[in-house]
Structure 1
C-alpha cells in the first residue's frame, strides 16, 4: 500500500510523534510505501519523526489545495493523526479514503481535558454540546474568556463532524472507544489498537523475588492535572502505614516544579527531582523502583508510561479513570485508587495495598510484566495494516458529502444537546 501519514507536527514533542517515529519504519519493513504530510516543523532535524527515512514529505500551511507532490504520489490511503487545519483535513477526506488515530479527547470536550476543576478536580462524563458552554465557566473547565471558549467549542464540534467522514477511527483504549460512541460515532467504525511501548523492551525473564528498594517513581510533566502534588501529600501516609522509610524519585519538569519542591520540604519527605530523563535512564529507574505512581487527575487516553513500567516488571498505582484500565488490572498488574473525586488519601491506600505484602507485590510485578508482553509492535502494526488495506479498496470508498448547504447531520448533531440545555 501507498500510505500517506498526515500529522500536525514533524518534530517530536510528545507521544503521538514518538509513535510515528517508530511506526513508519515498521510499515516500510512490511513492504509498504510511506509518505509524510505535516503542518508544522520546529526546525530541529535530529528530532524529526522521519529522521533517517528516505520517504517523500510535504508541508501544508493550511491551504485547501493539497501539495502537488502528494497528488502525483497518489496514496492508496491516508492515516491521519489529528490535523489542526480544517481545510487540509477536508481536502484529504474529499480526495482519499482515510483513517484517523484519536490520540486525545478530540471532538468530545471543549478544553480537551474531560475534567471539571471546581469545586474539585474530577472526570467529566458529559457529551459535547451547547450545555458544555454553561459548565465551562461554572465548573472551571478552562479559561474565562468567552470569545476563546466559543472558538474552542466551534473547533471541537468541527472535529466531531469530520470524524464521521473517516472510513475508520483508531483508539488505544476502551475508554476512548466509549467516549467516541457516547458522542455519536458509530461503533462499527472504531478499532481499538493499544500502542506498544516503543523504546522499552520487556525484560527477558519474569521478575524474581528481591528485597524492596523502598523507591517510588513518578514520570511525567509537573502540571496540576498530572497530580504529582497528590503523590507528595500521600507519601507520609504510606510511610507511616508501612513503617519503613520511602524515597520518591520525580522524573519530569513543568511549571509546578518549584511549588512541588517547596511542598516536598514541608512534608519532610525524601524526594529527588531529576528533571527529564532519556529512555535508557527511565528504564533503569523503573527496574530499580518498587512502584510507579500515575496520579493524573484527568482521564488519560491510554497512559503509555504504565506499559513502559510493565516492561521492567514494575506495577503501577493510578486513579480509576480513563484509558489506564486498558492495561492496569487491580490486584494483577497494579492497584487502583478511588477517583470520585481523586484524593491523596485514596492514592495512599492503593499504594499501601501494592507494597504491604511482599508476596502480593511480587505477584503485581509479574502481572505488570505479563501485561507489557501482550502489547507488541507486531500486533499493533498488523491490526493497523489490515484495516487500512480494507478501507483502501474501491468498494469501501463512499462519495464525500457536498458542503454547499447546511448539512442535515450537523443539524441533527445539535438537537440532543440543545434539548438538554433548554431542560436545565
Structure 2
C-alpha cells in the first residue's frame, strides 16, 4: 500500500511522535510505501521522526496548505493514516484525497480544551459529552482559560474537528476508555476499533536480561521513585512532590525521587521540591531534564517504582509500558486508559481517580513497595503485561484495518 502518514509535528515531542517513529519504520519494512505530511518541524533540538530515505515529506508550515495538499494528491496515496493535526482546514482538504483512518491519541473533537478535566474546585476527570452545555462549566470548573473569545474559538474548532472525525472510514483507539469516548460522541460502534498499542523497549534484548527482576529494595535503605514526561499541571507533578512528606512518614524509609522531563511547570515543581527537601529529612529530589531512550533506561534500571500521577484521563500512557518492559511496576490514578497497562495488583497499584488525591496515591505506592514478596510479583507482572504491546502484534492489526479501509465497499 501507499500510506500517507499525517501528523502535526515532525519532531519527537511526545508519545504520538514516539509511536510514529516506530510504526513508520515497521510499515516500511513490511513493504509499504510511506509519505509524511506535517504542519511544523519544531523544536530543532528534538530528534525528528525517522522516515525511509525515499519517503517524500511535506511541511504545511513551509509550503502552505494548498501546495502541501497538491503534493500529497500527486503522490496518490491508497490510504491516509491521520494523527494529531492542528489545522482543521488541512484535515478537511486531506480527507478529500483518499480513504482515511484516524488514530485518536487524545480527546480531539470531544472536549473544548482537550484536557477532559475539571480543575475546580480540584482536578477531576470530566465524564460529560461535548456540546454547548460545556459553556456552562468552562468558567466555574476551569476547563480552560478565562478569555471568552478563546472559549468560543476553541469550541468551534473542536465541533469542526468532531464533524471531520465522523468522515473517517475508521477511528482507532489504544484503550477501551477512548473507544467508549468516541462511541459516546456519535461514531458508529463498528467504525471505532481498539488496537493493541506498540511500545519498543528502551534498550535492546531487555527480555534476556535477568537483572530486571532483581528486587533492589531489599539491599538498600531508600525507595527510588521515577517520573518521566511533560511537566504541565495536569501531569500531577505538584501533587507527587507535596505527598512526599506523608509518604516518608508512612514508609519510614528515605526517598530518592527523580522527575525526568521538561515543560511549563518545571520551575514551579523545582520550587516545591526545594521546600519539601528543606522541611522533610531524607528526601532527595532530582530534575535531570529530558532524557533520551538511552538515558531513560538506566533511570528505570535504578528505580524501584514508576509513578504516573496524572490528574487528567490519560488516553494511554506509553512511558508506563516502557517502564514495565524493564520490570518496573507503577502506581497511578485510575483514570482514562491507564488501566489498559496498569492492572491493579498485577503490574502495580491504582489509586482512586474520582477525584485523584495525594492520600490515595500514597496508599498505592505503599501497596507496591511494602512487601518484598508482593513487590517481586509486581515486577514479573509488569513485564508480562507490557509484553502484550509489541510492534509485531500492532502492525498485524493495523495493516488489516488499513487494507480494509482501502478495499472498495
TM-score by length of 2: 0.91
> How far is 1:208 from its partner?
3.3
Question: Is contact 1:108–1:127 with CA below 8 Å preserved after alignment?
Answer: yes
> How far is 1:46 from its partner?
7.6
Change (3 A) 1:243 1:352: same
Q: Identify the residue that residue 127 of structure 2 maps to in structure 1.
A: 125
Of 136, 140, 143, which aligns to 1:141? Answer: 143
Q: Identify the residue that residue 394 of structure 1 maps to in structure 2.
A: 408
Q: For 1:108-257, list aligned pairs within 5 A.
A: 108-198=110-200, 200-201=202-203, 202-205=206-209, 207-212=212-217, 213=220, 214-257=223-266
Whole-angstrom distance in 1 between the partners of 2:59 and 2:265: 35
Q: For 1:274-423, list aligned pairs within 5 A.
A: 274-395=288-409
Whole-angstrom distance in 1 between the partners of 2:331 and 2:93: 44
Change (3 A) 1:173 1:3: same
Question: Is contact 1:203–1:313 with CA below 8 Å preserved after alignment?
Answer: no
Whole-angstrom distance in 2 between the partners of 1:354 and 1:46: 34
> How far is 1:378 from its partner?
0.8
Whole-angstrom distance in 2 between the partners of 1:318 and 1:240: 20
Q: Identify the residue that residue 6 of structure 2 maps to in structure 1.
A: 6
Which stretch of the first structure deviates more once superposed, 121-130 or 170-179? 170-179
Question: Is contact 1:109–1:128 with CA below 8 Å preserved after alignment?
Answer: yes
> How far is 1:258 from its partner?
3.1
Whole-angstrom distance in 2 between the partners of 1:265 and 1:45: 28
Whole-angstrom distance in 2 between the partners of 1:219 and 1:187: 34
Question: Is contact 2:347–2:385 with CA below 8 Å preserved after alignment?
Answer: yes
Could you tell me which runs of 5 or more consecutive residues in structure 1 were left unpaired when the two chains were aligned.
396-424
Whole-angstrom distance in 1 between the partners of 2:168 and 2:241: 43
**RMSD in angstroms over aligned alpha carbons?**
1.9
Q: Identify the residue that residue 74 of structure 2 maps to in structure 1.
A: 72
Q: Identify the residue that residue 404 of structure 1 maps to in structure 2.
A: none
Whole-angstrom distance in 2 between the partners of 1:80 and 1:223: 26
Question: Is contact 1:9–1:39 with CA below 8 Å preserved after alignment?
Answer: yes
Whole-angstrom distance in 2 between the partners of 1:382 and 1:64: 34
> How far is 1:369 from its partner?
0.6
> How far is 1:48 from its partner?
2.6
Secondary structure at the counterpart of residue 339 of structure 1: coil
Question: Is contact 1:66–1:91 with CA below 8 Å preserved after alignment?
Answer: no
Whole-angstrom distance in 2 between the partners of 1:271 and 1:145: 36
Whole-angstrom distance in 2 between the partners of 1:223 and 1:86: 25
Change (3 A) 1:297 1:46: closer
Question: Is contact 2:13–2:46 with CA below 8 Å preserved after alignment?
Answer: no
Could you tell me which runs of 5 or more consecutive residues in structure 2 were left unpaired when the two chains were aligned.
none
Change (3 A) 1:357 1:383: same
